[in-house]
Amino acid sequence: MAEKLLESQQIFKGKILTVKIDQVLLQNGNKSTREVVFHPGAVAVLPILANGDLILVKQFRYPVGVELLEVPAGKLDENESPKECALRELEEETGYKAQRIEYIGYIFTTPGFSNEKIYLYVAMDLIKTVQNLDQDELLKVEILRPQEVLNKCLNGEIIDAKTLSLLFLAREKGVI
């Protein structure tokens, strides 16, 4: 059921995103245009403290114009493995180093228009170190009981798709 690429035009190559317009041949013989945003990929981590509390981060998200409460996350650096990235982003954003990290799957966030793939992890056996944010990152750490986090999903305070996806998988797997 694949679509065959006929012609690709690169519209934009930014620091993070690349945008292309591709002409494709569909399985039914029709032609169509696909506007695609290429993204380097990312990780998201659910950090669980020894007492079961979860560590989330709150930050202003410019594209949507509001502050969101999310799991720690970040883009893959060049030549960085998802696991290395997860450990690095967790410590940079929260000031916790994980002695144990488990991969629980990946998601596509917007398969209709972007290839962004996010690798999901659960982090445990956490040791307090220091937060070390990028110069354009401003975020607050929030430590919450699992039930508080679930309530925030149900009442619309947690609305970030990667965060909901990761919490869902962690909950169905019995991790939280």
Site string for a second copy, 107-146 (x = CB under 8 A): xxxxxxxxxxxx----------------xx-x--------
| Integer Cα distance of 88 and 78 in angstroms | 13
| Integer Cα distance of 33 and 176 in angstroms | 43
Site string for a second copy, 18-57 (x = CB under 8 A): -x-xx-x-xxx-x-xxxxxx-x--x---------------
User: Angle at which helices 161-172 and 146-154 pack, to 10 degrees?
Assistant: 130
Two tokens, residue 143: 């430590």
| Integer Cα distance of 83 and 86 in angstroms | 5
Q: Which stretch binds a second copy (CB under 8 A): 47-55, 76-84, 88-96, 102-110?
A: 102-110
Given 14, 51, 78, 79, the residue binding a second copy (CB under 8 A): 14
| Integer Cα distance of 64 and 67 in angstroms | 9
Given 77, 84, 125, 172, the residue binding a second copy (CB under 8 A): 172
DSSP state of 109: S
Q: Is 159 helix (H, G, I), strand (E, B) or coil?
A: coil
Q: Is 103 in the site for a second copy (CB under 8 A)?
A: no
| Integer Cα distance of 91 and 132 in angstroms | 7
List contacts with a second copy (CB under 8 A): 1-3, 11-12, 14-17, 19, 21-22, 24, 26-28, 30, 32-37, 39, 42, 59-65, 67-68, 70, 73, 75, 105-118, 135-136, 138, 150, 153-154, 156, 159-162, 164-165, 167-169, 171-173
